[in-house]
Homo-oligomer: A and B are copies of this chain.
Amino acid sequence: MGSVRQRQLKLGAILAGVGTDFSQWRDPELPPNASIDIDWYIQNARLAEEAKFDLVFIVDSPFITPDTAPHFLNRLEPLTLLSALAVSTSHIGLVGTLTTTYWEPYNVARLFGSLDHISKGRAGWNVVTTGLEGASRNYGKDKHLDHALRYRRAEEFVDVVKGLWDSYEDDAFPYDKKNDVFLDKSKQHALNHQGEYLSVAGPLALSRSPQGYPVIFQAGDSNAGRQLGAQIADGTFAAVEDFESAQEYYHDLKTRAKALGRDPASIHVLPGIAPIIAETDEEAREIAVRREGALDIDKKLVALGRAFNYHDFRQYPLDAPFPDTSNLTLNSYKGHAERILRGVNADRLTLRQAAERYGSWRLSFIGSPQTVANEIERWFVGNAADGFNIRVTNPRDFKLFRERVIPILQERGLFRTEYEGTTLRDHLGLSVPENIWTSRKREDSSRADAA
């Protein structure tokens, strides 16, 4: 494809109900139970589909405290939610987050494989390893797995899940009623995986789904996170701070992928953004300032602490230098914590300044529809992004994005006006991977021919 047609933006819609920060839920237009209301999700998924988004994206995390932000406190589980969306939409991709640290690969392979069948080829799995150490106690473990081990385990886990998805070759079921042949037994394969962390026999009780494998996303930003993304991901949602850090991330990820023998264009880098849109730039900036002002400093300190495994920064003096964190292990959201510490050290921030900068931190494109479209194009053309994952919690911003920003992008030829395919792989220009057993048979037979 590549050279024939112009490279196209990819857009995701983050459906996070009442929002992953502390202020969004207070918006008068947002139903306060949005995070557990399937009708809210269906409505917004359909709006995103009407606007030709590539996918909806469901965030997740398996640990909360009383101080956790509203959406995380009380929300639908991603796989059940996405299955309900699958039969309520027809084209949009359905991507859910699930941790490799606290699930069994056999169950995960079934859930996403089944979602891909139910959605007729629109499932995606955002692979995470779980940042918050407290999660271990929800799963009978005294200690959260160490950061490096989590990522090694994740790599093996995804391999195993793909192996299970290959349990049946594409033509394994002749469905021959006359001769009583339901299954061609030679085309059912046990995986018999025995690895460093996992041992899984198989076969999975599920034929290959329309996409072969559901699409793999990944969001880690530490060194190990980037390496995993370069190895396994068809797309990444990693957080970036600004245009320059996004360019660095983009270049680094594609370079790593190329070094692993992959086509860099087959990994889609989609930073998350929270656009704030109004008729004029000035009006949009006023809205941004007003929203920021609604957040008290305590909530910003809690949000800041999340990157450090919910370390409670409320215990320190606000206007003193940022506290010494050298005895906090970075076993949580390591990439994010490292980015905060780099900023703190570079600009010698006080705790208050750090909380103001990072405690309500999000990448906002702020301005008129024209300004936001320009910024999107600048990032896209400047190799800082292949597209964006858009926060849609604020109904007004989402409406303006769909009705005012997207038409500009379409006019410029940067974004589709109609879906050209029906699967998420179609939208992302990804082919269906061949079943590994079929490949082996083909290779064996061509070797035999050559001999």
Which residues of A approach B to under 8 Å, CB–CB?
A: 18, 25-26, 28, 32-33, 36, 38, 42, 61-62, 64, 66, 68, 70, 72-77, 79-84, 86-88, 102-104, 106-107, 110-111, 113-115, 117-118, 134, 137-140, 168, 173, 175, 177, 180, 182-183, 185, 188, 198-203, 205-207
Contact = CB atoms under 8 A, between A and B. Distances in A.
A80 B77 contact: no
Given A73-B183, A74-B207, A199-B140, A103 B107 contact: yes
A205 B64 contact: yes
A168 B66 CA distance: 11
A71 to B, nearest CB: 9
Interface centre among A118, A139, A182 (most CB of B within 10 A): A118
B118 A38 contact: yes
A26 B176 CA distance: 8
A84 B83 CA distance: 5
B81 A84 contact: no
A200 B106 contact: no
B32 A77 contact: no
Contacts of A185: 66
B205 A118 contact: no
A118 B84 contact: yes
Contacts of A32: 173, 175, 177, 182
Number of copies: 2
A111 B79 contact: yes
Given A137-B201, A198-B140, A26 B106 contact: no
Contacts of A87: 38, 42, 84, 87-88
19 contacts: A36-B117, A61-B205, A66-B183, A70-B182, A73-B182, A73-B188, A74-B168, A74-B206, A76-B206, A80-B82, A80-B114, A81-B83, A83-B83, A84-B86, A87-B88, A103-B107, A107-B107, A137-B200, A138-B200
Contacts of A76: 114, 117-118, 206
Contact of A111 (B38, B42, B77, B117): B77
Nearest to A32: B175
Contacts of A84: 83-84, 86-87, 118
Nearest to A184: B66
Given A66-B183, A68-B205, A139-B200, 19 more contacts: A32-B182, A33-B175, A36-B117, A42-B87, A62-B106, A64-B203, A66-B188, A73-B182, A74-B168, A74-B207, A76-B117, A77-B110, A77-B206, A84-B84, A106-B138, A107-B107, A137-B199, A137-B200, A138-B201
A216 B111 CA distance: 22
Contacts of A134: 201
Contacts of A138: 106, 200-202
A107 B118 contact: no
A320 B188 CA distance: 34
A162 to B, nearest CB: 16
Interface centre among A73, A83, A88, A110 (most CB of B within 10 A): A83
Nearest to A68: B205
- Which 4 A-B residue pairs are closest in the complex by CB-CB distance? A32-B175, A137-B201, A77-B114, A83-B83
A106 B114 CA distance: 21
A114 B80 CA distance: 7
A17 to B, nearest CB: 12
Contacts of A114: 76-77, 80-81
